[in-house]
Amino acid sequence: MYRRLVIAVSVMVLLPLFFLVPAYAHFEHFTHYNNRGGDVGPHYAYEALEPEYAGPNEPVAIMFSVQDHDGRDTYNIHTMVEIYSATTGERLKAWPWTQQEIGDFQVFYNFPELGSYQIVLSVAKDGNPVNPNSIDPPRTTLSSNTGC
């Protein structure tokens, strides 16, 4: 009897706490090495690759989870994703400005060879109009925030 009471009280106390804690990075599997998180203006963006290590020309899901700084989901954000070669700085792929219904989304890419790459996520500022389905010119500096 005492054990049932303790379990019932524990469930009643702990279950509501589950709903108070924000969820960070809504990934099925959080990779160990090929992931990162960082500030993107008023948002915090997590990025992960699935599979974490893929060979050249094998499809890779580049997954993003864009949230506010309190870990809450974001909605109706405009994003643009770019991939650059870390050695040459050449832009290899760009996805146009797209309105994401929710901040959890992914794009797919086949990295052409083994090496280092820079994945750039741009999120439009609130009130900063973007041209939907357009692609900004390549960045001269990868840390550039022009148009974001």
User: How far apart (Å, rounded) are the C-alpha atoms in residues 126 and 52?
Assistant: 32
Residues 6-64 pLDDT 10s: 344 443 444 444 444 444 555 555 555 556 678 888 899 999 899 988 889 999 999 99
Q: pLDDT above 70 covers what percent of the chain?
A: 70
Dump the DSSP string for 12-60: HHHHHHHHHSPP----SS--SSSEEEEEETTEEEEEEEESSS--TT-EE
Of the candidates 59, 56, 63, the one whose C-alpha atom is nearest the C-alpha of residue 27 is 63
Residues 73-125 pLDDT 10s: 999 999 999 999 999 999 999 999 999 999 999 999 999 999 999 999 999 98
Helix, coil or strand: residue 78: strand
pLDDT at site 39 = 83
Confirm whether pTM is higher than 0.85. no
Q: Which residue has the higher pLDDT, 5 or 114?
A: 114
